[in-house]
Structures are given as C-alpha cells and as structure tokens.
C-alpha cells in the first residue's frame, strides 16, 4: 500500500502536522483527507463523530481559541480547502511539559497539510487571504455547556499572529483572560 500521508510531530507532544499526498494527472487530483487504518498505524487514532465546515470572508480575521472541557474534550483534524490560514493550537493539558505553549502552522488549499489536534488543546486560526474554507473532523459532538475559550490575544500566551487582527466575533472577543493559577485540563 502506498502511504497517502506523512506525519510530522510538532514541538507540542501529540500535536501532529499531517501532509496529504494527492494523486494527480492532467484532469486534476484525488486527495484522501482521512484514513483510519493509516492514521492508526502512526498512532493517530480518533473516531469521527462530527464534521464541520467554515468559511471566513476577510483576510486578518481570527477565530478562536476554542476547546471543550472534560469529559467532552475533543480531538480535531483541521484541513484548509480554500485560501490560506495560520492555524494555532495551545496546550492546555494539566501537567504537560508544554503547558500553555502554542504552535502555529500554515494550512492552505495548495500545501495539502492538516493539523491533528489532540484533546486538551485550544484551537484557533487567522485567515491569510479572503474567503478561506476549512473542514474539521471532530471526535466528539459539540456540547455548548462544555465550551471554553481563551482570548486570542491573551498576553500570557503571546500568539504571534502574522497579520493585524481586523475582525473577531463578539463571542471570541469575550473569552476571558487566563485566571491566575489556571491549572489546565485534567483529561
């Protein structure tokens, strides 16, 4: 079997960059977005219980930083279908050696990369072009009462957004600052 993906670890344990390998010819290409067997062989396992698609109209918009509290914590696989985004995950896992550290990567329709985000991370992004579309696979259904968020411009995290932030939703703007003594998520 020809591998359809390459898996690259990031500095945050479990957070994995996955590069898809499309099969191309003069007509275009076929690209596999997910393969449970190939992912499992690399230690990347999660059941897909929900899929969501977003479209963000304006370059410089930030969405995030979202997570769900246990026992509803979710794993995500995020892929960009149109445009380019700077995709970011923050390690919120209690007792993790990289607790409160962030890692960002560019995802685009052209680079064929996805970000695998384990449970216990907050996730967000900034659009680098207009009209960006993303596809999210989730290991758990959304539970409104379990939703959490960190302000995308939280100074204790210090995410270096590549562009000036031109737009955020009222919900994302209202995410609280990290509380003193925040211990993280116990999974």
- Residue 27 exposed, middle or buried by CB count within 10 Å (0-12, 13-18, 19+): exposed
- Structural domains for the chain: 5-171 (2.60.120.10)
Q: Which residues pair with 114 in a beta bridge?
A: 18, 79
Decide if 121 contacts 112 (C-beta within 8 A).
no
Catalytic annotation present for 136: yes
Identified catalytic residue from 66, 112, 151, 175: 66
Chain segment 129-176, per-residue pLDDT in tens: 999 999 999 999 999 999 999 999 999 999 999 999 999 999 999 998
As a whole number of angstroms, the distance between CA 118 and CA 186 comes to: 13
**What secondary structure letter does DSSP report for 59?**
T
pLDDT-derived band of residue 6, with 50, 70 and 90 as boundaries?
very high
Chain segment 69-106, per-residue pLDDT in tens: 999 999 999 999 999 999 999 999 999 999 999 999 99
Identified catalytic residue from 123, 136, 138, 175: 136
Catalytic annotation present for 72: no
Q: Which residues pair with 123 in a beta bridge?
A: 66, 89
């Amino acid at each position: 079997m020809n591998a359809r993906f390459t898996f690259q670890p990031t500095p945050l344990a479990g957070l994995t960059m996955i590069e898809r390998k499309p099969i191309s010819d003069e007509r275009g290409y076929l690209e596999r977005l997910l393969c449970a067997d190939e992912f499992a062989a690399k230690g990347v396992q999660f059941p897909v219980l929900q899929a969501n698609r977003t479209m963000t109209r304006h370059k410089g918009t930030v969405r995030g930083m979202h997570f769900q509290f246990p026992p509803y914590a979710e794993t995500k696989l995020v892929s960009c279908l149109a445009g380019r985004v700077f995709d970011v995950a923050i390690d919120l896992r209690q007792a993790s050696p990289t607790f409160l550290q962030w890692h960002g990567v560019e995802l685009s329709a052209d680079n064929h990369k996805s970000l695998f985000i384990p449970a216990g991370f907050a996730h967000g992004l900034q659009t680098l072009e207009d009209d960006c579309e993303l596809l999210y696979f989730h290991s758990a259904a959304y539970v409104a009462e379990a939703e959490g968020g960190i302000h995308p411009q939280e100074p204790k995290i210090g995410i270096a957004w590549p562009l000036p932030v031109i737009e955020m939703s009222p919900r994302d703007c209202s995410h609280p600052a990290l509380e003193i003594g925040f211990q993280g998520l116990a999974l």
